[in-house]
Amino acid sequence: MTEQKPSQFERGTDGPKVIVVGVDGSASASRAAAYGGGLARRQGALLAFVYVQPLLSAGAAMGAPVAETTDEIAESIMEELRHGTELFKGIFDLRWEFHTFRGDPYTGLVTAADELKADAVVVGASEQAGHRFVGSVAIRLVKTGRWPVTVVP
């Protein structure tokens, strides 16, 4: 019989390597970004912020510049994230990226999580009343069951 040595604990190597956070400029998404940032910092993980720009809709058919508007929103969100992370520069070491996709939020987040090989997904709770009946992006992500999903209120 061979004697087994007890396994040695490796501090900081068991957690997620990539955490995807869905952002859209809402208050709950900002809280999700802060929560995801804390997770990534403690785990030494890459924090991947993902904004999914909506597809052209009926507004675009009537001449509204939807693509330009969503690009401006993406730029605004990225600038807000950059400013937030700069506040902690030199205090906390945080690696982060910003990605943007076009489409519906659920499909965009699934695509991002798959492409980035996410170990976890963090999203804010839906602030829209209709999602109680139809199902929010968060609920759909949980039901997908491919990653741990944290829903931040």
Q: How far apart are CA 77 and CA 24, in angstroms?
A: 7
SS3 120: strand
Q: How far apart are CA 121 and CA 117, in angstroms?
A: 11
Task: Give whichever of 25-34, 46-55, 110-119 has the largest mean pLDDT.
Answer: 110-119
pLDDT score at 112: 94
Tell whether the model's pLDDT for residue 24 goes beyond 80: yes
Residues 150 and 48 sit within 8 Å (Cβ to Cβ): no
pLDDT score at 79: 76
Please state the pTM of the whole predicted model: 0.74
- For the stretch 83-90, contacts whose Cβ atoms lie closer than 8 Å and that sit 24 or more positions apart, written own/partner, are 84/33, 84/34, 84/37, 85/37
- For the stretch 131-138, contacts whose Cβ atoms lie closer than 8 Å and that sit 24 or more positions apart, written own/partner, are 137/22, 137/105, 137/106, 137/109
Task: Count how many residues are written for the chain.
Answer: 153
Rounded mean pLDDT of the chain?
A: 79
Work out the pLDDT band at 80, boundaries 50, 70, 90.
Answer: confident
Residues 49 and 23 sit within 8 Å (Cβ to Cβ): yes
